[in-house]
Amino acid sequence: MGVEHWVDWFHDPGHVFRASAVLLGVGQTIATLELISVRDALGNGGVHPWPAMRLSVPARPAALRWVREAAFGGPGVLVLLVLRLLAAATLVVASTEPLASVAVVALAALLVTFSVRLRWGQEAADDLSVQVAVGLAAFAICRWVGGPAVGLYYLAAVAGLAYGTAGVSKVVAPLWRDGTALGWVVNLRSLGAPWAADRLVERPRLRVVLSWAVILGEVCFPLAVLLPARGVVAVLAVGLAFHLVVAVCMGLNTFVWAFVATYPAVLFAWNALHR
């Protein structure tokens, strides 16, 4: 199968929805299992204790407050986690589009709920997953009533925004341009890796080259839809490789799934522009 033929497969919004939904589902299954495995962090003595966190949330009417307490307290949040796991796993294995549509709408609602509940400690992958779920949910709702595929264009736009912002904010930063920032990041115990630090800390030229590769890749990502088929596929392949390296070196495992879940929508946007 040639590259053009493979890209053409993403001309069908149903295919794009299915591919994005599976990638989002895998990422969210992992993320939710991780949260379940450290569920004590959600209770007293953890980093997300509701009795302390409720002190800084906005006041709500009594009925809403009751719902919030029930959902965000000890047993309630565990129930929400189980529901989130069910929705994410359903996205991965759903054999029909209606089932995947119901699951993605439920997952979008649950991810927005968790964004409120986990005030600190949401990483960019969690934030992007919310956007992916919202975009796919919007697509699913429109599709039920015969509306347009705006949710998929939204996903492509959010991918461009995320990479573009990351790239522009690095290119204006002298610490990134001269490679210093990359050395700092890999040197951290929490986010770096000793083997990566050993290879980069003493090699300023390699740091500069790698920093500029990251900067150019991120800045130029939004322009990928203007390239020919081979070009856009190459950009996405480089993006995947970048996220895999980041996952190994920095332990940011869910970034891979969250960002790659937007790639089918990028190919959908490419098809809309070129066909």
Q: What part of residues 113-172 is at the interface with another protein (CB under 8 A)?
A: 114-116, 118, 120-124, 127-128, 130-131, 134-135, 138, 141-142, 145-148, 150-151, 154, 157-158, 161-163, 165-166, 169-170, 172
Q: Kindly state whether residue 81 participates in binding another protein, applying the rule CB under 8 A.
A: no
Give 199-208's long-range contacts (Cβ < 8 A, gap of 24+): 204/179, 205/179, 206/179, 207/179, 207/180, 207/182, 207/183, 208/177, 208/178, 208/179
Please report how close the Cβ of residue 187 comes to another protein at its closest, in angstroms. 4
Q: Which of residues 9-38 bind another protein (CB under 8 A)?
A: 30, 33-35, 37-38
Please report how close the Cβ of residue 107 comes to another protein at its closest, in angstroms. 14
> Do 134 and 11 touch, CB atoms closer than 8 A?
no
Non-local (6+) Cβ contacts of 237 within 8 A are none
Closest CB to another protein among 1 and 145? 145
Contact map string, positions 192 to 221, toward another protein, x by CB under 8 A: xxx--x---x----------------x---
Q: Kindly state whether residue 82 participates in binding another protein, applying the rule CB under 8 A.
A: no
Among the listed residues 183, 173, 174, the one whose alpha carbon sits nearest the alpha carbon of residue 204: 183
* Region near another protein per CB under 8 A, out of 4-12, 69-77, 78-86, 110-118: 110-118
Q: How does 126-144 read in b/e, with b if 16+ C-beta sit within 10 Å? A: bebbbbbbbbbbbbbebbe
Q: Kindly state whether residue 272 participates in binding another protein, applying the rule CB under 8 A.
A: no
